[in-house]
């Protein structure tokens, strides 16, 4: 079948991802060939000290993204998109969406970017004998309890952005196990919420008389390939108000960007690893065995098919770099040379490859928000240099790129140097890897490991979610997710970039400067309220 015939017959598969700066849709063929895409830009807001997105922006953005996809299909194939074979939705990992019995939002959606749950994590980690990161849903819930927030007794349902969107589209309160493992710990033997830890939490809060048990407010956990409901007429109208999209489409379990990153890079087998690099940056290593001890800097989560994963996560990735690129765009406009953002990235990022190995003595701290790995609850982006530093544009671009990876490196050192975790190869995806091999080269220097990317690396979470939706259609054959990805993505990964010893040494020098510069960051947080 031609692509147009395939789309007209309703055999294409759709993945939708709510990223931190873009909502993106990816339409693929059953063999996973990309057919069309759509996107819509959006931004979080810092409101009353909390990073959030308005729910109106969620639905406005979803409609705009789908309309962009439908327009791309019409432009490419002269076909109206009316149905697909399967659909899946993913979103930025975890966070806090609390609903009452009437399904009304109780407090503004709290995103992964918030580092406001430190006291809760300090109590929950020893109670559960499990490292609880600040962005996890259970951390936000318990912090709300500790703070005596009045909405807590009214909670009827607790979910994440991906779970919330999925529920609105299908009426099903379910969650993929990968995303679920960032709400509350999962028992790897059952693939469900850890019963003993649920009991421990319920015992902790019982004296407060909240009127609910934790399991009752959490969604049902599903592994990849399990049916997760069908698109309702109301859900179809949310996606496509024009009325062209038909109801009844099967949906796979919703996932977070951690799970879609593993799938998009085919890194779901033990000793495989991937890095998702964009607004935030995180590395996921599928474990052969458990870690020797608890590390507050390391998350233990699951692949979408239920294997244990160690995650080194950093809140701050490319946001500060993106802001500087935007500034350079304003400079170009002031000089009468309009430049599209993609052109600016394509021209400026490769300059980092020709810079001094250590970025010429320049220092960038890219903390737009707090950074749990290094102990910051707030961030202040800053750039500094000594008088004799080599202040050139290539060095500046390398400093910005390296700064995006320093917090990640802090977490990875724990895995490789303290726990002895072996990584054969890192596979990258996300916007950091667009435009040549510069991103691979910078990442290889930071992690001192080979880095490869697939042809769809820039597609990110929407591509990974489309793959999970496609797997839903074949899971009843008994094919494992890992085998399915091997069969469908073979040959799509480009040759890896191996670390250049000069780049590795240069990053080590920059990393030491960056760590010393965190003292400046602490003063900036105090000085700039």
pLDDT one-digit tens code per residue, 46-89 = 888 899 999 999 999 999 999 999 999 999 999 999 999 999 99
The predicted structure's pLDDT at residue 267: 85
Tokens 């895995």 found at: 415
> HSE-up of 343 (CA within 13 Å, CB side)?
7
Lowest mean pLDDT: which of 141-150, 220-229, 315-324? 315-324
The predicted structure's pLDDT at residue 488: 84
For the chain, what is the mean pLDDT?
A: 93
pLDDT, average across residues 150-174: 97
Residue 431 counted as domain residue: yes
pLDDT, average across residues 180-188: 95
In angstroms, rounded to a whole number, what is the distance separating the alpha carbons of residues 347 and 368? 24
Confidence of residue 166 (pLDDT cuts 50, 70, 90): very high
Residue 178 counted as domain residue: no
Q: By percentage, how much of the chain surpasses pLDDT 90?
A: 73
Confidence of residue 429 (pLDDT cuts 50, 70, 90): confident
State the total domains in the chain.
1
CATH code of the domain containing 413: 3.30.420.40
The predicted structure's pLDDT at residue 490: 63
* Residue 495 near residue 437, CB atoms below 8 Å: no
- Flag whether pLDDT at 458 surpasses 80: no
The predicted structure's pLDDT at residue 491: 58
Nearest to 164 by CA among 65, 256, 27: 256
pLDDT, average across residues 333-344: 91
Please give the C-alpha separations between residue 282 and each of 243, 258, 297, 318, 408, in angstroms, as whole numbers: 39, 8, 12, 12, 6
Residue 87 counted as domain residue: no
The predicted structure's pLDDT at residue 492: 61
Nearest to 26 by CA among 341, 428, 468: 468
The predicted structure's pLDDT at residue 105: 96
pLDDT, average across residues 412-419: 91
Confidence of residue 480 (pLDDT cuts 50, 70, 90): very high
Q: By percentage, how much of the chain surpasses pLDDT 70?
A: 98
Residue 375 counted as domain residue: yes
Nearest to 30 by CA among 50, 14, 13: 13
- Flag whether pLDDT at 493 surpasses 90: no
- Flag whether pLDDT at 181 surpasses 70: yes
Residue 118 counted as domain residue: no
Question: Buried b / exposed e across 34-68, counting CB within 10 Å, b at 16+?
Answer: ebbbbbbebebeeeeebbbbbbebbeebbbbbbbb
- Flag whether pLDDT at 326 surpasses 60: yes
> What is the residue range of 382's domain?
319-453+499-527
Lowest mean pLDDT: which of 133-147, 310-324, 451-465? 451-465
- Flag whether pLDDT at 272 surpasses 90: no
Paired with 384 in beta bridges are: 363
Residue 345 counted as domain residue: yes
Residue 65 counted as domain residue: no
pTM score = 0.81
The predicted structure's pLDDT at residue 400: 97
- Flag whether pLDDT at 456 surpasses 70: no
Nearest to 223 by CA among 160, 283, 307, 285: 307
pLDDT, average across residues 147-162: 97
pLDDT, average across residues 404-421: 92
In angstroms, rounded to a whole number, what is the distance separating the alpha carbons of residues 426 and 499? 11
Best mean pLDDT range from 123-127, 297-301, 310-314: 123-127
Give me the helix-helix angle, 481-489 and 461-472, nearest 10°.
110
Confidence of residue 459 (pLDDT cuts 50, 70, 90): low
Residue 311 counted as domain residue: no
204-246 confidence digits (pLDDT tens): 999 999 999 999 999 999 999 999 999 999 999 999 999 999 9
374-407 confidence digits (pLDDT tens): 989 899 999 999 999 999 999 999 999 999 999 9
The predicted structure's pLDDT at residue 477: 86
- Region class of 383: left (phi > 0), else alpha (psi between -120 and 50), else beta: beta
The alpha-carbon radius of gyration of the chain (Å, integer) is 22
Higher pLDDT, 93 or 151: 151
């Amino acid at each position: 079948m031609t692509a147009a015939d395939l789309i007209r017959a309703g055999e294409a598969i759709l993945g939708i991802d709510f990223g931190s700066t873009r909502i993106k849709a990816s339409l693929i063929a059953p063999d996973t060939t990309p057919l069309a895409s759509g996107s819509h830009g959006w931004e979080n807001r810092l409101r009353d000290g909390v990073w959030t997105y308005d729910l109106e922006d969620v639905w406005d953005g979803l409609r705009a993204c789908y309309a962009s996809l439908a327009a791309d299909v019409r432009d490419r194939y002269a076909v109206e998109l009316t149905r697909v074979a399967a659909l899946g939705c993913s979103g930025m990992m975890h966070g806090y969406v609390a609903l009452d019995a009437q399904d009304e939002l109780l407090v503004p959606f709290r995103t992964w970017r918030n580092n406001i749950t430190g006291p809760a994590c300090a109590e929950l980690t020893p109670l559960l004998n499990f490292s609880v990161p600040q962005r996890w849903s259970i951390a936000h819930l318990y912090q709300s309890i500790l703070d005596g927030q009045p909405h807590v007794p009214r909670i009827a349902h607790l979910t994440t952005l991906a779970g919330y969107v999925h529920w609105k589209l299908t009426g099903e309160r379910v969650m993929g196990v990968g995303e679920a493992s960032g709400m509350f710990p999962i028992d790897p033997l059952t693939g469900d919420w850890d019963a003993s830890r649920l009991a421990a939490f319920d015992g902790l809060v019982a004296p407060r008389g909240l009127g609910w048990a934790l399991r009752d407010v959490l969604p049902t956990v599903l592994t990849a390939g399990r049916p997760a409901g069908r698109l309702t007429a109301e859900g179809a109208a949310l996606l496509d108000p024009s009325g062209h999209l038909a109801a009844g489409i099967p949906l796979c379990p919703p996932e977070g960007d951690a799970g879609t990153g593993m799938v998009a890079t085919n890194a779901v087998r033990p000793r495989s690893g991937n890095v998702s690099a964009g607004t935030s940056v995180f590395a996921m290593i599928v474990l052969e065995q458990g870690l020797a001890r608890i590390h507050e800097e390391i998350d233990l989560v699951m692949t979408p098919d239920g294997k244990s994963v160690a995650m080194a996560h950093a809140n701050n990735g490319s946001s500060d770099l993106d802001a500087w690129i935007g500034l350079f765009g304003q400079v170009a406009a002031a000089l009468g040379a309009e430049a599209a953002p993609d052109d600016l990235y394509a021209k400026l990022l490769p300059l980092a490859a020709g810079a001094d190995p250590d970025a010429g003595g320049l220092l960038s701290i890219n903390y737009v928000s707090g950074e749990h790995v290094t102990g910051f609850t707030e961030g202040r982006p800053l750039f500094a240099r000594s008088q004799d530093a080599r202040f050139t544009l290539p060095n500046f671009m390398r400093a910005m790129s390296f700064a995006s990876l320093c917090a990640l490196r802090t977490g990875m050192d724990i895995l490789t140097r303290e726990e002895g975790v072996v990584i054969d190869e890192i596979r990258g995806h996300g916007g950091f890897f667009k435009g040549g091999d510069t991103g691979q080269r910078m990442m290889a220097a930071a992690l001192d490991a080979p880095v490869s990317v697939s042809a769809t690396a820039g597609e990110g979470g929407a591509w990974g979610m489309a793959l999970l939706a496609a797997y839903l259609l074949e899971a009843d054959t008994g094919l494992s997710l890992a085998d399915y990805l091997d069969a469908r993505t073979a040959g799509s990964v480009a040759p890896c970039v191996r670390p250049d010893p000069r780049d590795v040494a240069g990053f080590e020098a920059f990393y030491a400067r960056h760590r010393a510069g965190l003292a400046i960051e602490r003063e900036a947080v105090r000085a700039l309220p």
